[in-house]
Structure 1
Amino acid sequence: MLQQVHSRHFQPLLGQTGSLTLPDGRCLPVRFDTLDEAPRTKMPSSERMPFSVEFNSLQSTDFVEGLCALEVPELGRLEGVFVSRIPPMGRDPSVGYFYIAFN
């Protein structure tokens, strides 16, 4: 299923809130902020353009990284999505900032 995910599926989520299901089953409310395509990293045999999605939690969280699930328009619930936490870098340190890379 993850091979069928393209950046266009995340476009409607930008600026919107959603829910990230953490590895332990808890749901974390999040807001999707950034979508970046990476055409220079595309493999010649791959149909998908690599891209990344950045989002932040809407509340404090101790979650750092792991396999999560989230709802994506047109695709429904995506399971087994690896989510990584990134440093706040001058942003509000009371919430979590996260990154998903689709290569």
Structure 2
Amino acid sequence: MLQQVHSRHFQPLLGQASSLTLPDGSQLPVRFENLEETPRAKMPNAERMPFSVELNSLGSTAFVDGLCGLEVPGLGRLEGVFVSRIPPMGRDPTLGYFYIAFN
């Protein structure tokens, strides 16, 4: 299923609140903040343009990284999406900032 995911599926989520299902089954409210295609990372015979999605939690969280689930328009529920935490870098340190890479 993850091979069918394209950046266009995340376009409608930008600026929207949603939730991640964390590895322990709990829900983490998040907002999708940024979407970036990375054409220089594309392999010669690959169908999909690599891209990344940045999101932040809507409250404090201890979650660092792991395989999560999330709802994506046009695809439904995705399972096994690896979500990584990134440093706040001058942003509100009480929130969690996350990154998903689709290569």
Q: TM-score of the superposition, structure 1-length normalised?
A: 0.99
Q: Which runs of 5+ in 2 are unaligned?
A: none
Counterpart amino acid of 2:101? Answer: A
After superposing on structure 2, the runs of 4+ consecutive aligned residues of structure 1 that deviate more than 3 Å are: none
1:22 corresponds in structure 2 to 22
Aligned partner letter, 1:45: N
Aligned to 1:92: 92
Q: Deviations over 1:49-99 (max 9, x none)?
A: 000000000010000000000000000000000000000000000010000
Aligned to 1:9: 9
Gaps of 5+ in 1: none
The answer for the alignment partner of 1:57 in structure 2 is 57
Count, aligned residues: 103
RMSD of aligned residue pairs (Cα, Å): 0.3
CA distance in 2, matches of 1:90, 1:41: 28
Please name the residue that 1:32 is paired with: 32
1:24 aligns to what SS in structure 2? Answer: coil
Where does residue 71 of structure 1 map in the other structure? 71
